[in-house]
Structure 1
Amino acid sequence: MLSNEQWAELNGIIVELHNLETEATFREFLLERLCQYLGATFASWNIHDENLRMVRVVNSPAFDQVINEMLPILNETLPGHPLFDQFIDFNSGKLRCVETVERTRDHISLADYQKLPFYTKVARQVSVEDQLAIHVRVQSGKGILLMYHSNREFTQEEHLKASILRGHILARLHTLERQTGQFRDAVVAQCEILQTRLTPREFETLRHLCQGMSNSEISSKLYISSRTVEKHVEKILSKLGIDCRTRVIARYAPYLEDRHNIRSPTHRQPPLKRLS
């Protein structure tokens, strides 16, 4: 059981978690803040593809490089790990939906754990003696496992804290992903509005302008002269009712920067006239 002081600290962590506003800060919080809170040495955000192979592992910063260098060995040794057997059906090729937080030492003794290929080839290299596993998502055979690794056995209190936090982690991620979806809808809507007011070439010029490109860089990108770029920028400012490029960037960059990895809708062409 947790003491009153421990409950108060846990409630503070939960408040911090639900105040996170982006998926990037959310993942950073899980890999650093929660890692420290749960007494872990480091944490991993493991993304599995439909073939159950880890295609990406994001770790606490101090361990990120060394763990990613071990990725091929991890894929080789995980099938013999009893904790991962709880989450992954290696025979059918599907992830199991596990709604509890599982601990390695609850599934295998320390002596047997240290005989595993996973331990001799991976865990011993980074001093991992115990782990907590949390399923973040399972969908269409793919999923995300959040792993906390420790150089000692996790306590029952730490296991309990992680179990309580699991529902809050899933709820906050769902909210952030829904908000991201809404923002993507807003991006598409804004692109459609812009494309009704600008020509296709003006729209492309605006996109590059919002990425911070100079006129000469846009010229090279679009294979047009710098003078033509200047004319496009002048028309963009006029059509959008904005008096300088700095303000147009401030207004539209959030929707048009490539970091969102969102393709704008194809510029609509006028319908063809039927020949009589």
Structure 2
Amino acid sequence: MVRRSLAALLLVAVIVGYVVWQRPEEPVPPPAPPKPVVLEYADGSRMWSVGEGGLQPMVVQRVLKEMSEVSVPYDSLVARGGAVRTTIDAKAQTTAAAVLGRLVARQQGPDGSYSQEELNAGMTAIDPASGGVRVYLPGFQWDQDLAGGVAQQPSPGLFQPFAGVRDVGEGQVTPLDVTATYATLAAAGVERKPHLVSTVTGADGSLRYKAADTAKPVIGEHVVDRITASLKDNAMCNGVACMPYAAPWMVGYTPQLAVTVYVEKAGAVNAGLPRVIWQEFLAGFAG
């Protein structure tokens, strides 16, 4: 009797095991769709959002990189949704892009030839009062960030106003580095770390990040006043503090904005192009 009971139990176990083995596996649930994430200009208008096709613009890549640096990784925001308010000024960015597109981007004629040698340029602008980056234009090549990614050798006179005042200009620099240095003069000697991310909010409206003020006095106001007055004296600057003889660079500032232009492969023929771009941007932005 005991043997029969054990045999019956064994048979039941085999049948149950076979049924379980034959049962189809539970389907793997599809990954959760990304939540809405929007990158905004400083005024709240839309710059970019998750789901847009094609490559991410370099300014977007730069913003996402900065988010990771401040411990708000992009993946975590995609999982929950939210908005990133950048410091980029929509009008300034659009004006700068239009000027570079007209003066630098190669124009192809009806015969297929290009009107000028291959040039590329980067431009950055910073609000001296906050360190917020108002313009970030990396150029016309998807794999080369001339605004803040690819460092270049500064021309001999680029940092001349700081001689004997502050040790700057050692090694290669980016336009963003140069703009931040001159923004210190525009801010009466107060240095601020440049940043592109102003705030990050969750889908529920909660504040996940807010840029801190990094103000640090580094140059005396009387020294700044002397440097600024000297830079304004140049007739080519039209009353604005600028360094016009630093090709292929051009940098200058007003109390509201510090701006740097760098033109790659400008050479002797296009030595004046950085200054023209800089002046036309300021005129267009003010207009």
Q: Which one has a larger percent helix, Structure 1 or Structure 2?
A: 1
Greater strand percent: which structure? 2
Same topology, TM > 0.5: no
Question: Which structure would you say has the larger Rg?
Answer: 2
Q: What is the TM-score with the length of structure 2 in the denominator? A: 0.29
Instruction: Provide the TM-score with structure 1 as the length reference.
Output: 0.30
